[in-house]
Amino acid sequence: MERKVEKVIKDIKALKIQGARNIAKAVVNAIILQIQKSKAKTLDELYSELLVVSEALASARPTEPMVRNAVGEIARFAFSQIKTGGVRNAKELREKVVTKEKEYLKKMDENAKALIEYGAKLIPEGAVVMTHCHSSTVTGILKRAAEMGNQIEVFACETRPRYQGRITAKELVDADIKVSLIVDSAMNSFMKKAEICLVGADAITSRGDLINKIGTSTLAHIAEMHDVSFYSAAELYKYSPISLFGNLEKIEERDSKEVWDKPPKGLVVRNPAFDVTAAQYINGYITEAGVVPPQSLFTIASKQLGIEIEKK
Closest CA relative to residue 233, chosen from 305, 295, 175, 288: 288
Distance CA 272, CA 144 (A): 32
Distance CA 153, CA 99 (A): 42
Distance CA 249, CA 264 (A): 32
Is the Cβ–Cβ distance between 208 and 279 less than 8 Å? yes
Residues of the chain falling short of pLDDT 50 = 245-246, 307-312
**What is the structure's pLDDT at 304?**
73
Catalytic residue among 44, 174, 176, 202: 202
Q: Which domains does the chain carry?
A: 3-113 (1.20.120.420), 116-311 (3.40.50.10470)
**What is the structure's pLDDT at 52?**
96
**What is the structure's pLDDT at 248?**
63
Strand-pairing partners, residue 229, are 196
Q: What is the CA radius of gyration of the chain?
A: 20
**What is the structure's pLDDT at 167?**
97
DSSP single-letter state for residue 226: T
User: Which residues make Cβ contacts (< 8 Å) with residue 311, sequence separation at least 6?
Assistant: none
Helix (H, G, I), strand (E, B) or coil at 155: strand
Across 201-240, b (16+ Cβ under 10 Å) vs e yields bbbbbbebbbbbbbbbbbbbebbbeeebbbbbbbbbbbbb
**What is the structure's pLDDT at 206?**
85
Give residue-wise pLDDT tens across range 243-279. 554 456 678 899 999 999 999 999 999 999 999 999 9
Neighbours of 284 (CB within 10 A): 19
**What is the structure's pLDDT at 61?**
83
Distance CA 23, CA 102 (A): 15
Of the CA atoms within 13 Å of residue 90, those in its CB half-sphere come to: 16
Closest CA relative to residue 165, chosen from 188, 151, 184, 178: 184
- Global pTM? 0.87
Distance CA 55, CA 32 (A): 14
Helix (H, G, I), strand (E, B) or coil at 163: coil
Is the Cβ–Cβ distance between 217 and 281 less than 8 Å? yes
End-to-end CA distance of the chain: give it in Å, rounded. 27
Distance CA 187, CA 266 (A): 31
String of DSSP letters for 1-18: --HHHHHHHHHHHTTSS-
Is the Cβ–Cβ distance between 130 and 190 less than 8 Å? yes
Catalytic residue among 109, 133, 261, 275: 133
Strands 178-182 and 290-292: unpaired
Give residue-wise pLDDT tens across range 91-128. 999 999 999 999 999 999 999 999 999 999 999 999 99
Assign residue 149 a region (left: φ > 0; alpha: ψ between -120 and 50; beta: otherwise).
left
Is the Cβ–Cβ distance between 208 and 298 less than 8 Å? yes
**Torsional sign, CA 12, 210, 238, 206:** positive
133 in catalytic set: yes
